[in-house]
Structure 1
Amino acid sequence: MSKQVTAARAAELIRDGAVLSVSSSSGLGCPDAVLAAIGARFKREGAPRGITTLHPIAAGDMYGIKGIDHLAKPGLLKKTLCGSYPSGPFSAGPPKIWKLIGANEVAAYNVPSGILFDMHREAAAKRPGVLTKVGLGTFVDPDNEGCAMNAAASEPIVARVSFDGEDWLYFRAIAPDVTVIRATTADGRGNLTYEHEGAYLGALDQALAARNNGGIVIAQVKRIVENGTLKPHDVRVPGVLVDHIVVAPDQLQTTQTPYDPAISGEIFRPLSSFSTPEMSVQKVIARRVAMELAEGMAVNIGFGISANVPRILLEEGQHGKVTWVIEQGAVGGIPLLDFKFGCASNAEAIMPSPQQFTYFQAGGFDASLLSFLQIDREGSVNVSKLSARPHVTAGAGGFVDITARARKIVFAGFFKAGAKLSLGHGGVGIEQEGRVNKIVEKVEQISFSGRRAIEQGQDITYVTERCVMKLTPDGLLVTELAPGIDLERDVLAQADIPLRVADGLKTSPAILYGEGPMGLELKGGARV
């Protein structure tokens, strides 16, 4: 019997009240044709109703791959647990899912991506749930929000428990009734290969969670080939786990990208084909972040200013001295920017995301380079919530997993929001002061706990265009000042909290502000 079905037929398999798990990372690996068919069926028939969806990283974007927005209809979607949600500048208005969240028409939870993958693994093994220290002291902790994003999310999904004399967070496993995954190729038996994909994500774990609990697995692919023609080492999800195959030949590889063989590791791009950042204040910040690295490090990188650090190393002739590791699974190579963020070219390996998160959660890597929206008195960081701009903050994604035990974290961003800045005379000029303070008494949401970082002995640095700060047991310490910046007027007076100043306050190196390569050379010393 053939496993191939239409997207419309696959949508008919979702029953009322079902738990639906979806594998994707924004546009990367998103089974959009199947999700669109589910939304179309609901519009046509009013079914399925009251479903719960699980999205370990994210489903869809606002640039051509709607993902979860296909399901964002009152009556269809009852509850959703996502690592992150679609965000960005919306020419046609905010995503539909944000309208449902704001109107309390769906119970919405922001769960760290790695924990969501762990919940699938535990469900697959028929174990009760996840015990973890990831998220303690953050919005994930039930002592704070417990992952809830709105009043409709009133059912607790996480508890703080004592086990073996220690405090842990406990997430109950959730067994999917249906898992929807995506691959490039299927044979008639349902074996799946990923040769055109930029990542494997968590498809295998999500498929196991459904299959082992009596559910079904639907795979969206570009093509079907004859049985026996796929090499067994290339099969990432075996056919015994796949019930139905939907062919969608026009599926995008990732956001606004039909197909780029360098993303899937089929070709290697010459280093000369990668652009390097033009001179700007953002580039100065990225250069200063790069100075925090050492040869031999394995370094995680996040969205924002720090995403340009690999290009800084490339410009400085230092490419290859640091191995980049990103949550979607790429190890090595050069992480890509903008719509292709989450992918890498010239990767050395691509890990399944659940195993990559295991690596992150235990702090097996050397450093992480991340962004911030707010920093508070305790050094805590908010990246996940701004009430003034709710549709621009997508949620935390893998941020909480990555920062939970990272030995060294460098947060990068602007000291104030909205300032008009300039470069010149070997330093930074402030032509017009910003309107919104980002160094605040208390962050709106704790995505990273400074208090817990101190308890664990983590090395935390904050790099801005005006100064560099370190987290100490006594709070934030200004250790370095940019040329052209007045300490009292431009730093201390522009923070909502008192900042301590190091006795040996340094001046940022002049080489940060010049055109052309700055002569950076990474030295060894990644691990002690």
Structure 2
Amino acid sequence: MKNKFMTADAAVRLIRDGDTVALMGGGGGLMEATHLFQAVERRFLAGEGPHGLTVVHALGIGDKATLGMNCFAYAGLVKRVIGGHWVWSPRMQQLAQTNQIEAYILPGGVSSQLFREIGGGRPGLITHVGLGTVCDPRHGGGRMNEAAQDDLAEVVTIDGREYLRYKPYRVDVALVRASAADEDGNISFEHEAANLDAAHIALAARSSGGKVIVQVKERLPRGSLKAREVRIPAAWVDAVVVDAGQRSSYDIPFDATLSGELTGEARFAPLPAEAREFDERQAVARRAACELFEGAVVNYGVGIPDAVAKLVVARGELDRIYQTIEHGTYGGSLLDGVLFGYARNASAMLDAPTQFDFYGGGGLDLAFLGFGEMDELGNVNVSRLGGLAVGPGGFIDIAQNARKVIFCGTFAAKGVKLATGDGEMRVLQQGQVHKLVKRVDQITFSGPQSLQRGQTALYLTERASFRLTPEGLELFEIAPGIDLQRDVLDQMDFTPRIAADLAVMPAGHFRVEDEGVGALAER
């Protein structure tokens, strides 16, 4: 067998000008091939190319500074980026905003599943996911700036029903991260904190006649890996690069409770977060947790939904629901912030495309997600805020498919001052930015499409709760201490329907010493 092991610098010379390069990874360094990314950057800055790359990734990759997608954030190195989530690379966001690159987004699940379809030689991905959103060619076609001119999907009708066909493309190079490789190039994921779409990216490149480059932490003797431990067979692999310093995350050298190999306390715990006083996040989380029920299959997004997950753990109710995240993980204690996507002591780890299959088939009962802005039709925008490409990550796939979606966020932004903790919520200073607008800047969740699907959608904030109706958003709850006119209606760019039985939320949601009201109910 040919020796496939080589240095990172040698491996990235396989990338040619104009190639389409598929990347994998998640925030905080989750399954990120950092050593390879840095080799690409090093080669480019040395004047050796490559130039004019198309870079595709399903989830957010980077540290908002120098790692992940930041290694590719150079005009000339890339000409087109199709990214699921952009916020981990402010430099790439700036290239998009100034039209120095063609900027596109795809739903994270669609992107992962499209790799699989490309790998199987099929004519793209046909799915309902993305209808009515920015990914629909009638609402933007995934384009995030003026330099982007193509539609990444087209509308097709099958048996009288509309779908989107996301178009396939050639994958010239896959940069994949794994744990170990044997002498032949068989690849194992056993020490990774997720599987993500690694195997599907590799297959897409292989089927396209491209190159598969895999970064691993260790090289094993031939025969060391059992057949069931091999997740990418040697036949798919062109080059293997060993990075002995490969870490579980940017900050964690290795933690077997994250990879699922051991159960127990963390050996390397992330730096403790600064203690957070009781605030509007906890109040919203308490209200949102009232939607949980015994045996529910649940997904939590990033942001305030993190607080819902923490509340479930604090109440000792984790074993009463099925907790999932789009990276493919079930159960365990979810990490948050830059480590969103990691779970300690998980009960199962699937490939991300399979997880999104489960979501797309209606497997989720509840999804707790954040929002950037929302409008009178119940549309939500999280994908372009303040003129910057943000991207949806798995938001579209999840929000569109859960039986009930609960959007959790603060009512306004920039300069808001609130006081709570004594059973009431008081607004000391109104925000300069309204988040409840007449029309959202970009549709990442479609209210009208949600109504067609018969979905239940709630929009929960620290001062008011709304629900989606055929007539638009309806206000059905306000927090104790809130003045309806001054603190809610005057801070919106539209007038919502007001429920005839407008209720006041329980004071327990807003009292420090309480844990909120309501326990998991039986379905």
TM bucket (normalised to shorter chain) is over 0.9
Say if 2:287 and 2:516, in contact at 8 Å, map to a contact too. no
Q: Work out whether 1:362 is the aligned partner of 2:364.
A: no
Change (3 A) 1:331 1:277: farther
Say if 1:277 and 1:283, in contact at 8 Å, map to a contact too. no
What's the offset of the Cα at 1:261?
2.1
Structure 2 match to 1:445: 442
The residue type paired with residue 62 of structure 2 is G
Structure 1 match to 2:83: 82
Any unmatched runs of 5+ in structure 1? 88-93
Q: Work out whether 1:427 is the aligned partner of 2:428.
A: no
Residue-by-residue CA offset, 1:346-405 (whole Å, 9 max, x unaligned) = 2110110011111122221111000011110100101111135x2xx6311111111122
What's the offset of the Cα at 1:257?
2.6
The residue type paired with residue 413 of structure 1 is G
TM-score (norm 2): 0.94
Q: Work out whether 1:171 is the aligned partner of 2:147.
A: no
Q: In the aligned structure 2, how far is the partner of 1:157 from the partner of 1:281?
A: 39
Structure 2 match to 1:401: 397
Q: In the aligned structure 2, how far is the partner of 1:46 from the partner of 1:230?
A: 37
Structure 2 match to 1:61: 63
Structure 1 match to 2:223: 228
Residue-by-residue CA offset, 1:223-281 (whole Å, 9 max, x unaligned) = 1111111222222212221111101122232243322222112232369x999965222
Structure 1 match to 2:521: 523
Structure 1 match to 2:10: 9
Say if 2:178 and 2:187, in contact at 8 Å, map to a contact too. yes
Structure 2 match to 1:90: none
The residue type paired with residue 435 of structure 1 is Q
Say if 2:102 and 2:148, in contact at 8 Å, map to a contact too. yes
Q: In the aligned structure 2, how far is the partner of 1:285 from the partner of 1:76?
A: 43
Structure 1 match to 2:465: 468
The residue type paired with residue 392 of structure 2 is A
What's the offset of the Cα at 1:310?
1.9
The residue type paired with residue 393 of structure 2 is G
What's the offset of the Cα at 1:516?
4.5
Structure 1 match to 2:22: 21
Structure 2 match to 1:504: 501
- Of 218-227 and 185-194, deviating more is 185-194
Q: In the aligned structure 1, how far is the partner of 2:47 from the partner of 2:497?
A: 63
Change (3 A) 1:425 1:41: closer
Q: Secondary structure at the match of 1:262?
A: helix
Change (3 A) 1:509 1:269: farther
Q: In the aligned structure 2, how far is the partner of 1:162 from the partner of 1:354?
A: 24
Say if 2:364 and 2:401, in contact at 8 Å, map to a contact too. no
Which of 130, 140, 154 is equivalent to 2:135? 140
What's the offset of the Cα at 1:155?
2.4
Counterpart mapping for 1:115-514 below 5 A? 115-269=110-264, 278-387=277-386, 390=388, 394-418=390-414, 419-514=416-511
What's the offset of the Cα at 1:498?
0.8
The residue type paired with residue 98 of structure 2 is A
Q: In the aligned structure 1, how far is the partner of 2:25 from the partner of 2:343?
A: 16
What's the offset of the Cα at 1:9?
0.3
Moved segments of 4+, more than 3 Å: 273-278, 516-520
Q: In the aligned structure 2, how far is the partner of 1:426 from the partner of 1:52?
A: 53
What's the offset of the Cα at 1:58?
2.8
What's the offset of the Cα at 1:19?
1.3
What's the offset of the Cα at 1:286?
0.6
The residue type paired with residue 256 of structure 2 is P
What's the offset of the Cα at 1:424?
4.4
- Of 254-263 and 192-201, deviating more is 254-263
Q: Secondary structure at the match of 1:480?
A: strand
The residue type paired with residue 463 of structure 2 is R
The residue type paired with residue 377 of structure 1 is E
Count of residues paired in the alignment: 514
Structure 2 match to 1:110: 105
Q: Secondary structure at the match of 1:140?
A: coil
Change (3 A) 1:141 1:262: same
Q: Secondary structure at the match of 1:109?
A: strand
The residue type paired with residue 403 of structure 2 is R
Q: In the aligned structure 2, how far is the partner of 1:116 from the partner of 1:313?
A: 31
Structure 2 match to 1:36: 38
Q: In the aligned structure 2, how far is the partner of 1:519 from the partner of 1:488?
A: 26
Say if 2:24 and 2:31, in contact at 8 Å, map to a contact too. yes
Q: Secondary structure at the match of 1:263?
A: helix
TM-score (norm 1): 0.93
Residue-by-residue CA offset, 1:103-123 (whole Å, 9 max, x unaligned) = 222111111111112221221
What's the offset of the Cα at 1:449?
0.2
- Of 345-354 and 18-27, deviating more is 18-27
Structure 2 match to 1:91: none
Say if 1:119 and 1:174, in contact at 8 Å, map to a contact too. no
Any unmatched runs of 5+ in structure 2? none
The residue type paired with residue 84 of structure 1 is H
Q: In the aligned structure 1, how far is the partner of 2:351 from the partner of 2:251?
A: 23
* Identical residues among aligned pairs (%): 39
What's the offset of the Cα at 1:4?
0.6
Residue-by-residue CA offset, 1:462-503 (whole Å, 9 max, x unaligned) = 111111111111111111111101112211221111112211
Say if 2:369 and 2:399, in contact at 8 Å, map to a contact too. no
